[in-house]
C-alpha cells in the first residue's frame, strides 16, 4: 500500500503543561509537526503525571537518571493512522519524515554537514539520551551536542519555568529532590555566578552561530530552507524565550549579529501551539 502523504486521522501529541510551553524536546516535535503541516491535537500533561501518563500509554522510557533509574519524559506522539506510538523527539522527527515524506514544508533531513561539538566542563545532572546510529547520524549527533550545550546552561532558566499553578508545588519539590538541594530558592542563579553563566552562554552561542554563517541568504543553516537541525536549536530558543528574564532574552536574540533572534523569528511559521 502506498504511504499516505498526509494522515487522515488526527495524531495526539503530548507536552508538559506550563503556563507557556517551555520544554525543549516537546518544542522540537511541535515545530516538526507544524513543519509537516499534519493534523494533530495536544495534551498538556502536568509534570508530576508524566511518568504515569507515559506508562498508561505503554511507551517505554528512553532516558535514565544518573543512578540508572528510568526517567519518564515527553514528548510522545501517537499516530492512529499507523498505530504508532513514539516517545522520543528525534524518533518523532524521523517518523514524520519517513511516514509523510512530502507533507508540509517537505524534507526535514536534507543532507548537510553539521560540524558542531560541545563538551560540558562538568557532568550534566541528568545524562542525555545517546545519539542513534542510523540514516540521520549527522543530525542525531548534532541533536546530542546541542542538547549538551544548552543543558549546561539551564541553571540560568530553571528558576523561571512558568509552572502551571495546579502542579507548581509538586513540580518544584521534584526538581529539588532530583538536584539534592534544600529548597526551590537554591535554583535562583544571581550575581557574579549568573554573569559568568551568561558569558558562557554567549560564547557557546558564538561557536554554534558559526554554522549559521555559511549561508546567510536566510535565517536557517541552509539559508532559506529550514531543516530539523534548525528545529533542534529552535526548541531550545523557545525554552529560553519562555524562561529567561526579558532583558536577557533580548540580549540572546541580538548577540552575534542577531543570528538567534532571526532563527527564532524564522521558525515562527512553525510555532503555533495547537
- Contact residues for ligand GSH, defined by CB under 6 A: 16, 23-25, 47, 50, 62-63, 73-75, 88-90, 129
Least distance in angstroms from the C-beta of 69 to ligand GSH? 12
Cα separation of 231 and 107, whole Å?
13
In which element (H, E) is residue 71 found? strand 70-71
Least distance in angstroms from the C-beta of 195 to ligand GSH? 26
Q: Which residue is nearest to ligand GSH (CB)?
A: 73
CB closer to ligand GSH out of 99 and 151: 151
Cα separation of 31 and 29, whole Å?
5
CB closer to ligand GSH out of 131 and 261: 131
Least distance in angstroms from the C-beta of 61 to ligand GSH? 9
CB closer to ligand GSH out of 7 and 87: 87
Strand, helix or coil for residue 159: helix
Q: In what order do the strands lie in the sheet with 76-79?
A: 40-45, 11-16, 76-79, 84-86
CB closer to ligand GSH out of 57 and 215: 57
Cα separation of 125 and 178, whole Å?
9
Least distance in angstroms from the C-beta of 75 to ligand GSH? 6
Least distance in angstroms from the C-beta of 266 to ligand GSH? 22
Paired with 42 in beta bridges are 13
The residue behind cell 553563566 is 197
| Helical packing angle, 137-151 and 191-209, nearest 10° | 160
Distances (CA, A) of 5 to 88, 98, 100, 202: 22, 10, 5, 41
Least distance in angstroms from the C-beta of 16 to ligand GSH? 6
Amino acid at each position: 500500500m502506498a504511504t499516505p502523504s498526509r494522515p487522515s486521522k488526527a495524531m495526539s501529541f503530548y507536552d508538559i503543561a506550563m503556563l507557556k510551553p517551555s520544554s525543549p524536546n516537546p518544542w522540537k516535535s511541535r515545530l516538526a509537526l507544524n513543519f509537516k503541516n499534519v493534523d494533530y491535537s495536544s495534551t498538556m500533561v502536568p509534570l508530576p503525571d508524566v511518568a504515569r501518563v507515559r506508562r498508561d500509554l505503554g511507551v517505554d522510557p528512553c532516558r535514565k537518571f544518573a543512578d540508572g533509574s528510568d526517567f519518564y519524559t515527553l514528548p510522545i506522539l501517537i499516530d492512529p493512522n499507523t498505530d504508532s506510538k513514539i516517545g522520543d523527539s528525534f524518533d518523532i522527527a524521523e517518523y514524520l519524515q519517513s511516514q509523510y515524506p512530502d507533507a508540509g514544508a517537505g524534507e526535514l533531513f536534507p543532507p548537510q554537514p553539521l560540524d558542531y561539538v560541545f563538551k560540558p566542563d562538568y557532568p550534566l545532572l541528568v545524562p542525555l539520551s545517546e545519539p542513534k546510529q542510523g540514516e540521520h547520524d549527522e543530525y542525531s549527533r548534532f541533536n546530542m551536542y546541542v542538547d549538551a550545550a544548552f543543558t549546561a546552561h539551564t541553571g540560568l532558566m530553571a528558576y523561571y519555568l512558568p509552572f502551571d499553578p495546579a502542579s507548581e508545588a509538586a513540580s518544584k519539590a521534584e526538581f529539588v529532590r532530583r538536584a539534592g538541594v534544600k529548597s526551590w530558592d537554591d535554583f535562583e542563579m544571581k550575581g557574579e555566578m549568573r554573569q559568568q553563566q551568561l558569558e558562557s552562554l554567549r560564547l557557546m552561542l558564538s561557536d554554534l552561530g558559526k554554522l549559521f554563517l555559511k549561508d546567510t541568504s536566510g535565517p536557517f543553516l541552509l539559508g532559506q530552507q529550514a531543516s530539523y537541525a534548525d528545529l533542534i536549536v529552535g526548541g531550545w530558543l523557545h525554552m529560553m524565550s519562555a524562561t529567561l528574564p526579558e532583558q536577557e532574552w533580548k540580549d540572546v536574540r541580538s548577540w552575534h549579529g542577531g543570528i538567534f533572534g532571526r532563527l527564532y523569528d524564522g521558525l515562527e511559521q512553525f510555532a503555533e501551539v495547537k
